Amino acid sequence: MQTILIPVDFSDHSVSTYKFAIKIVGTVNETRLYFLHSYNDQLLIPDSGLSSGFDNDVFMNMQLIEEFKQLAKNNMKQLKKEVEDYIKAEKLNNFKVNTMVSGGDPGWEITDASKDIHPDFIVMGTQGIGKKGILEGSMAKKIMNKADVPVIAVPSGEYDHDNLRIMYASNNHEKDFVKIKLLFKLFENLPFKIFTVHFHFEGSSHDNSNQLNDLKEAFSAERISKQINFSLIDTNNKDNALEAFVEHNNINVIAFIAHKSNIFKSLFRPTITKKDFFKLGLPMIALHE
């Protein structure tokens, strides 16, 4: 049984998100979809200047929060029906839809829900209502840093799930082997190919080559079946090199290990960060350290 957590804000983008989640699961595994929405439950008390106005302000805010809560529940009920209708139309019988509505900070609510239900992965959008909603890129980055499961961030749009071409950005991390294995597991029910690439900026290219050769040997069977290939690219311009690789190989999904930010490290040598991947406007898979 698989479990997927899908945070939503009820924007049109939520449709892209749940469709992406359903497509990558396929028709084989029994899967529970947990949809989560967090509404604002913070009291906003203006300075009325009169102590007698405090109780009225609190009462009005409590009423407003209750309205947020009821609206969220109604929207979630509508979304659940929409998802179930989509599953039925696609003739899928391996999905069960669950919903959760909670008040609070979306970042905390998402991470808390993840700890409670232990999803195999989280699928979320990279922009919300008005393109500046709670699930914009900054929220996705925050969850990528906090979550201890893979986080798939999906921009709005339609994607070719029948021909996934996944770029795995290797940085010679000791867990590259484990993370590539995880990608094979995540997409086992879909046709895909993994393009493992290391962008070399400085240091010993010989060492980089040796570490990449170790990965090649570890995945020799997958290389023979043409499910994976490996590239080492020397460059002084990370933006151009990244965009050129994506375009040349028709990449439509980006995968990487979501390291914690290290501003001192990036000041002294060029690195590829989550910000660079977000610029590409493609679905991303952040694999936790």
DSSP string over 162-225: TSEEEEEEE---TTHHHHHHHHHHHTTTS-EEEEEEEEE-SS-HHHHHHHHHHHHHHTHHHHHT
Cα separation of 107 and 142, whole Å?
7
Q: What is the mean pLDDT of residues 50-71?
A: 69
pLDDT band of residue 28 (cuts 50, 70, 90) is confident
Residue 272 has pLDDT above 90, yes or no: no
Q: What is the pLDDT of residues 200-231, one digit of tens each?
A: 876 545 567 888 888 999 999 999 999 999 99
Cβ-contact 112, 46 below 8 angstroms: no
How high is the pLDDT of residue 15?
A: 86
Q: Which of 2-11, 136-145, 167-176 has the highest mean pLDDT?
A: 2-11
Has residue 26 got a pLDDT over 80?
Answer: yes
Residue 66: what pLDDT?
A: 85
Write the single-letter amino acid at 96: K
3-state secondary structure of 280: coil
pLDDT band at 134 (very low <50, low <70, confident <90, very high): very low
pLDDT confidence of residue 264 = 42
Cα separation, 219 vs 287, in Å, equals 19
CA distance 54 to 50: 7
Confidence of residue 18 (pLDDT cuts 50, 70, 90): very high
Beta bridge pairs of residue 286: 151, 256
pLDDT score recorded for residue 172: 65
> How far is it, in rounded angstroms, from Cα 136 to Cα 138?
6
- The answer to whether 135 touches 127, Cβ cutoff 8 Å, is yes
Q: Average pLDDT in the 19-28 region? A: 87
pLDDT the model gives residue 109: 92
Q: Does the structure show a pLDDT above 50 at 132?
A: no
> Is 270 a residue whose pLDDT tops 70?
no
Residues 80-88: what's their mean pLDDT? 96
Radius of gyration of the chain measured on its C-alpha atoms: 22
| Residue 46 or residue 233, greater confidence | 233
Cβ atoms 26, 90 nearer than 8 A: no
Model confidence at 182: pLDDT above 90: yes
Name which residue leads in pLDDT, 67 or 207.
67
pLDDT at residue 189 above 50?
yes
pLDDT over 70 at 160, yes or no: no
What tokens appear for 113 in the block?
Answer: 């829900």
The predicted pLDDT at position 245 comes to 95
- C-alpha distances in Å from residue 140, one per residue of 56, 190, 237: 37, 25, 26
